[in-house]
């Protein structure tokens, strides 16, 4: 049975597993393995994940008690979807859409828009967000671990 809920410290291993599988599935075709591994180590180590659980709205989706996806929302003066991943074997079943909807419902009436960054070479993700009424505001290059990333800033109007 499917459940979407706030992440807890006990979910860290499952979240890291989803992120690793999703990143390997998507980004090993775009970036060097060393870059992917360094980004995963920086973003999904236990200490960093625990801090994110405290500071962000961090949702997980479970199927039969297994974490199969997650979404994190940074909020303050603006709302930002900072991570949004579904285990590759569970993609295209509506879980990503449900996570996004659940997060937006949480912030309903509090923000006029939401922003996210996506890699322009991740065609599937760009298409997904465009179908969800996000628009590209601009593209830019960001260098991480010596590798140039072709990123897009996207926005969705909420009101």
Tell me if residue 84 falls in helix, strand or coil: strand
Q: Residue 2 CB: number of other CB atoms within 10 A? A: 12
Residue 31: per-residue pLDDT: 93
- Complete edge-to-edge strand list for the sheet that includes strand 57-63: 2-6, 57-63, 66-75, 79-86, 113-119, 147-157, 135-144
DSSP E strand stretches across the chain: 2-6, 57-63, 66-75, 79-86, 113-119, 135-144, 147-157
CATH number at residue 65: 3.40.630.30
Q: State the DSSP code for 145.
A: T
Counting Cα atoms < 13 Å in the Cβ hemisphere of 132 gives: 23
Global pTM exceeds 0.85: yes
- pLDDT, tens digit (0-9, with 9 covering 90-100), for 113-155: 999 999 999 999 999 999 999 999 999 999 998 999 999 999 9
Question: Residue 119 sits in which domain range?
Answer: 2-157
Q: What is the full per-residue pLDDT of the chain (159 aa) written as tens digits? A: 789 999 999 999 999 999 999 999 999 989 999 999 999 999 999 999 999 999 999 999 999 999 999 999 999 999 999 999 999 999 999 999 999 999 999 999 999 999 999 999 999 999 999 999 999 999 999 999 899 999 999 999 997
Residue 150: per-residue pLDDT: 96
> What domain count does the chain have?
1
Tell me if residue 76 falls in helix, strand or coil: coil
């Amino acid at each position: 049975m499917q459940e979407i809920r706030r992440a807890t410290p006990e979910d860290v291993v499952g979240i890291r597993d989803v992120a690793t599988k999703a990143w390997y599935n998507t980004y090993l075709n775009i970036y060097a393995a060393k870059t992917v591994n360094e980004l995963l180590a920086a973003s999904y180590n236990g200490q960093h994940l625990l801090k994110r659980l405290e500071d962000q709205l961090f949702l997980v989706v479970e199927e039969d008690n297994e974490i199969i996806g997650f979404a994190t929302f940074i909020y303050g003066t603006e709302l930002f979807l900072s991570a949004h991943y579904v285990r590759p074997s569970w993609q295209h079943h509506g879980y990503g859409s449900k996570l996004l909807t659940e997060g937006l419902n949480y912030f309903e009436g509090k923000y006029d828009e939401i922003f996210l960054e996506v890699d322009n070479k991740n065609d599937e993700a760009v298409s997904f967000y465009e179908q969800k009424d996000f628009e590209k505001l601009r593209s830019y290059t960001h260098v991480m671990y010596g590798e140039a990333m072709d990123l897009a800033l996207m926005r969705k109007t909420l009101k």
